[in-house]
Amino acid sequence: MPPSVSRALALATTLLSSGCAPRVEMPEGAQNVVLVTLDTTRADFFGAYGYPGDATPNFDALGADGVIYEAAVTTAAVTPVAHASILTGQYPFTHGLRVLSAGSGYRLPADAPTLATTLAAAGYETAAVHSAFPVSAHFGLEQGFQTFDSLESGLDGGASSETWDVTALQRRSDDTTDRVIDVLESLTPPFFLWIHYWDPHDVRQLPPWYFLWGLDERPDDLSKSSRERYAAEVSYVDDQFGRVVDWLRDRGLYDATAFAVTADHGEGLGEHDWLTHRLLYQEQVHVPLLLRLPEGPRGLRVAEQVRTIDIAPTLLAAVAAPALTEAEGAVLPGLPGGIDGHRLAYADQLNGYDLNASRMRKRPLDDFLYAVQDGEWKLIYRPSHPDDSELFHLSTDPDEAVNRYADAPEQRRRLLRALAALEPWRVEPFEGGGSGDDVQAMLEALGYQEAPAQAGPRWVWTCIDHGSVRAPDAGACERCGEVLIPRSAEVAP
């Protein structure tokens, strides 16, 4: 059955099952909030971002009914870290969740203000329906949710990674959407619903064969390239999201609902010699961002660079809820209160301090990555290998093929100063009791690979302009007063 037929049947089934679905009354002036986060999902696999054909009609329609942000940038290429930034409006070095697994640093602090805690305090019913363990309560992401569908059923299993039931730790988007609709049936407006879809992260979450191949009969050759499988997974998530939109429309709730659709990060599909994530190239940090507000603009495309940390402040402003006073994000451009123009974006990867980053052994230069980009230029600073840092002119080199770090000194200094001003550095491992063997086994079952804890380099602090100036602690250069930046003591200045 071709995908178009499956969509039609799904819609017919929804209409038949709902019949004359009872309309749900909204309190006067109230608005619901629906946040959809797509795990490991690249922007360039959406029709709205140029993917050919009718791959993502439901997401594209939502964007056409609101705002499509063409250049949204995430804060990390690992799931819990990036999601914490979406929920708090903060960079990782502020909210404190910075790695997938370590002695500490893997959990959002209990007192962190979030989109959910703020809306709950404002009288919203709050619920989250998830598709995989990496957004579970283990990472502290449950804060503020009265209903939190967290995949942690394996915590009491005590099994090894070889025998762990991976089906208990992840769901395909059809199962997730079934649960979403069950939860929606129980919510009283106004509500905040966070939906997390996982499919593109894991090749074991393939769509049904008829959707994947687009054929009326099962093919003899079931092989597909990784890119084809990935595209089908994104398309199937879109198909399932359409069921949520249909449910809201049937009950008269769509027009009174604020939507934000984004991804935690993208995925390497061979670019820069890499097949997965944990790097900071554009295929991994450029994410889709679609916004549809009840009283917002329609059919708007915004080319200026924005950040995923701008999502929570925008949604709160849209429903007239209290602001996140400690957020580093701001209301998105194109909306009341938003400021036009490119926004400096930051991302990091502390792979060298993460216990579940063993794949990175193949790329020793990528143990510690700090990136800033301003919409035109992008810097990836490698403090443990500073001479291998990278500078790209995105306007003329969107594929990041030409490293300008050596031949564009003024741009390099400018972005290094912008990076240093953020003070994002982590220069010691995350000590503490850690996640425990059960959690390590679950992460390994989902495809993450454990690595021994690393002490990391011995860091010294140097000046951007006077690299020979070394200091044992952070501070300012005695010669020029500039903020010092870290680099490995083993690397000659």
Tell me whether strands 257-263 and 32-38 are parallel, antiparallel or unpaired: parallel
Closest CA to 115 of 326, 293, 340: 326
- Return the top range by mean pLDDT from 19-28, 100-109, 321-330, 356-365: 321-330
Rounded percentage of the chain residues whose pLDDT exceeds 90: 65
CA-to-CA separations, 343 to 71, 78, 305, 411, in angstroms, rounded: 10, 22, 6, 16
Residue 121's pLDDT is: 97
d(CA 89, CA 107): 16
Residue 419's pLDDT is: 97
Q: Which residue has the higher pLDDT, 170 or 319?
A: 319
Tokens 């006073």 correspond to what residue? Answer: 325
What is the residue extent of each domain of the chain?
Answer: 3-20+28-341, 348-488
Fold designation for 3-20+28-341: Alkaline Phosphatase, subunit A (3.40.720)
d(CA 85, CA 140): 12
336 C-beta neighbours (distance < 10 Å), count: 11
> Are 84 and 272 in contact, with CB atoms under 8 Å apart?
no
Length of the chain: 493
What pairs with residue 380 in β-bridges?
Answer: 371, 390
> Are 126 and 146 in contact, with CB atoms under 8 Å apart?
yes
> Are 91 and 308 in contact, with CB atoms under 8 Å apart?
no
**Model confidence pLDDT, tens digit, residues 273-301:** 888 899 999 999 999 999 999 999 999 99
Distance between terminal CA atoms of the chain? 62
> Are 307 and 372 in contact, with CB atoms under 8 Å apart?
no
Q: What is the pTM of this model?
A: 0.89
pLDDT at residue 225 tops 50? yes
Three-class HEC string of the chain: CCHHHHHHHHHHHHHHHHCCCCCCCCCCCCCEEEEEEECCCCHHHCHHHCCCCCCCHHHHHHHHCCEEEEEEECCCCCHHHHHHHHHHCCCHHHHCCCCCCCCCCCCCCCCCCCHHHHHHHCCCEEEEECCEHHHCHHHCCCCCCCEEECCCHHHHCCCCCCCCCHHHCECCHHHHHHHHHHHHHHCCCCEEEEEEECHHHCHHHCCCHHHHHCCCCCCCCCCCCHHHHHHHHHHHHHHHHHHHHHHHHHCCCHHHEEEEEEECCCCCCCHHHCCCCCCCCHHHHEECEEEECCCCCCCEEEEEEEEHHHHHHHHHHHCCCCCCCCCCCCCCCCCCCCCCCCCCEEEEECHHHCCCCHHHHHCHHHCCEEEEECCCEEEEECCCCHHHCEEEECCCCCCCCCCCCCCCHHHHHHHHHHHHHHCCCCCCCCCCCCCCHHHHHHHHHCCCCCCCCCCCCCEEEECCCCCCCEECCCCECCCCCCECEEEECCCCC
Q: Which residue has the higher pLDDT, 195 or 272?
A: 195
What is the band of 72 on the pLDDT scale with cuts at 50, 70, 90? Answer: very high
The edge-to-edge listing of strands for the beta sheet with 345-349 is: 345-349, 369-373, 377-381, 390-393
pLDDT at residue 1 tops 70? no
Exposed/middle/buried for residue 63 (C-beta within 10 Å: 0-12, 13-18, 19+): buried
Tell me whether strands 289-292 and 67-73 are parallel, antiparallel or unpaired: antiparallel
Residue 475's pLDDT is: 82
pLDDT at residue 415 tops 70? yes
Residue 451's pLDDT is: 57
What pairs with residue 125 in β-bridges?
Answer: 191
> Are 291 and 64 in contact, with CB atoms under 8 Å apart?
no
Mean predicted confidence (pLDDT) in 315-332: 96
- Degrees to nearest 5, angle at CA 393 with 389 and 399: 85
**Model confidence pLDDT, tens digit, residues 344-397:** 999 999 999 988 777 778 899 999 999 999 999 999 999 999 999 999 999 999
Q: What is the mean pLDDT of the chain?
A: 87
d(CA 427, CA 433): 19
